[in-house]
Amino acid sequence: MKTLAASTAISTSKFLTGFTAIVLGLTIVLGLGFLQDANNTLHNAVHDGRHSAAFPCH
Amino acid sequence: MADFRKLVAISLLAGILAGLLLSVLQHYQTLPLILAAEQFETPSAEHVHDWQPMDGWQRNGFTWLFNGLTGFGFALLISASMYWRDQRDYLPGLGWGLAGYLVFFVAPSLGLPPELPGTDSAELHSRQAWWLFTAASTAMGLFGLVLTKQRGLQIGGACLLALPQLVGAPHPEVAHALAPEALQQHFVLLTAMNNAIFWLALGALSGRLLRKVTFQ
Ligand SMILES: [Zn+2]
């Protein structure tokens, strides 16, 4: 029987490459979806996009 | 590093293309509903001096940009996952697209449906916290349920899928919306459909583009 560890074993460099891509992806998505700025400039720019993607907006 | 650049290039292209598709769908379907709902709103005095994009190309342009950039970000998650698992082609890509739709749209929407402007909601930070918790729990739950072979992990995954829905999303004590209920329902339906198309296109494109490159 294959164990979970054996079936998903990948090299360190491959792990880090994918991990970096995921951190970058999450930073972009969560930044655009969640950041609130004091004078609402960012919020007003992305407002329609957030509402259309089911992000809590305001 | 060479592999990372390839993932970024693939994700950028897939994100822009799927984002364009979503923008066109929204332009004809949901944005008119948002504009219609705004007719029921009276702007609050404190916010009236803040900068806002002008209605028309400027306002739409920011939404198109938002769709392309979030598409890029979401595509990075898909292509990195497929890279880890040595998957390529559009069929496994569709599977990841479906997973993304469930994690980032369906699960959060079960508690906090997409809202038209002018809908009263619970305090923003509590909703954002529930949204994040739900996406994370659903992602881990799907992983346990679908990608592991061990009974215990699969049961744990099913529990993680159910957990945020059992906890429940924060809601205001008295719900009140300015736009008519029919408009809101129409908006939820169209948004669910548009985002499904967006996610499936994003997954299929990412998977197909992965076939074009060889990794080290
Ligand atoms: Zn908003």
Residue, of B185 and B175, whose pLDDT is higher: B185
Q: Is the pLDDT of residue A50 over 70?
A: yes
How buried is residue B45: exposed, middle or buried, by Cβ count under 10 Å (0-12/13-18/19+)? exposed
Judged by CB atoms closer than 8 Å, whether chains meet at B3 and A17 is answered as yes
pLDDT of residue A2: 46
ipTM: 0.92
Q: Is the pLDDT of residue A48 over 50?
A: yes
Residues of A in contact with B104 (CB under 8 A): 29
| Site from A29, A52, A57 to mutate, B interface, most B CB atoms within 10 angstroms | A52
State the pTM of this model.
0.93
Ion ligand 1 neighbours (CB, 5 A) are A 47, 57-58
Residues of A in contact with B73 (CB under 8 A): 24-29, 32
- Residues listed for chain A: 58
Judged by CB atoms closer than 8 Å, whether chains meet at B31 and A52 is answered as yes
Nearest CA in chain B to A43: B52
Helix (H, G, I), strand (E, B) or coil at B107: helix
Answer yes or no: is A7 within a domain. no
Q: Is the pLDDT of residue B184 over 60?
A: yes
Least-confidence region, from B14-28, B33-47, B62-76, B139-153: B33-47
Answer yes or no: is A33 within a domain. yes
pLDDT of residue A51: 94
Domain range for A46: 16-52
Least-confidence region, from B4-18, B96-110, B170-184: B170-184
What is the distance between the alpha carbons of residues B150 and B192, in angstroms, rounded to a whole number? 33
**Average pLDDT in the A37-47 region?**
90
Q: Which residue, among B121, B60, B77, has the nearest Cα to A55 in the 3D structure?
A: B121
Q: Is the pLDDT of residue A6 over 60?
A: no
Of B62, B76, B85, the CB nearest to A25: B76
Q: How many domains are there within chain A? A: 1
Residues 144-203 of B with CB under 8 A from A: 148-150, 153, 191, 194-195
Of B83, B84, B115, the CB nearest to A51: B115
Answer yes or no: is A21 within a domain. yes
CA atoms within a 13 Å half-sphere pointing along the CA-CB vector of B135: 19
Q: Which pLDDT band holds residue B55 (cuts at 50, 70, 90)?
A: confident
pLDDT of residue B139: 98
Expressed in angstroms and rounded, the spacing between residue B66 Cα and the centre of ligand 1 is 13
**Average pLDDT in the B161-181 region?**
86
Q: Is the pLDDT of residue B45 over 80?
A: no
DSSP annotation string for B3-71: HHHHHHHHHHHHHHHHHHHHHHHHHHTTHHHHHHHHTT----GGGTTS--PPTTHHHHHHHHHHHHHHH
Q: How far is CA B156 from CA A10, B114, B137, B159, B164, in A?
A: 24, 29, 11, 5, 13
Beta bridge mates, B119:
B177
Query: For B115-145, how does the pLDDT look when each residue is reduced to its tens digit (9 = 90+)?
Result: 998 887 888 999 999 999 999 999 999 999 9
pLDDT of residue A7: 47
What share of chain B in percent tops pLDDT 70? 96
